[in-house]
Amino acid sequence: MVIKKDSIQTKSPAWTALHDRLAGRGGRLTPQRMAIYEAVVGRTSHPSVAAVHQEVRRRFPGLSAATVYSALDLFARLGFIQEVSGAVRRYDGRAGTHVNLVCQRCGRITDVPDVELEAVQHRAASRARFLVAAVRFELHGFCPGCQRSTRRGRGRDARS
């Protein structure tokens, strides 16, 4: 998608929703924010602030890391992306309820859709009469590759 300053209000529902939510909070949908949004949404890579900054700086060389961080934080608060916790803060631009499996060793994040999650969310919120503003499902542990390498390492230690 080519971003032009005078085409900020495109016909895309995603851009319209983002523009309207930002405007409702006194913010603007700038070309830089659009580029930051594009660097996260619809991808499965779960980029860090540094990765987004590096990508967007190719188009906007003067863009600061602080601007990227603040835009990502804003998009997360508005519910357009999700922050994924771990050793390095990363962002998930995938829409829909899913679980993020976060490997504590290599940092890999795997998305796993689960149709039951929305029911769990609604049931828990309903029981507590809680108004949900944001949802994040994360499981932290070890991916299959890191489990294998740990087992191999233990096997060597036992033979020593």
CATH 1.10.10.10 maps onto the chain at: 1-93
Q: What is the pLDDT of residues 129-144, one digit of tens each?
A: 999 887 889 999 999 9
Q: Is pLDDT above 80 for 55? A: yes
How many other CB atoms are found less than 10 A from the CB of residue 123? 11
- If one looks up domain 96-160 in CATH, what number appears? 3.30.1490.190
Q: Indicate the average pLDDT of the chain.
A: 84
**Any idea which residue has 């934080």 for tokens?**
73
Q: Pairing state of beta strands 90-92 and 98-103?
A: unpaired
Instruction: Assess contact for 138 and 102: CB atoms under 8 A.
Output: yes
CA distances from 94 to 28, 76, 145 (A): 23, 12, 24
CATH 3.30.1490.190 maps onto the chain at: 96-160
Q: Is pLDDT above 70 for 48? A: yes
* pLDDT, position 6: 42
Torsion of CA 138, 140, 145, 149, to 10 degrees: 180
DSSP3 helix / strand / coil % (the chain, rounded to 5): 45, 15, 40
List the Cα angle 1/36/103 in 5-degree steps. Answer: 115
The third-level CATH classification (topology) of the domain covering 1-93 is Arc Repressor Mutant, subunit A (1.10.10)
Q: What is the pLDDT of residues 81-118, one digit of tens each?
A: 989 988 888 999 887 788 999 999 999 999 998 889 99
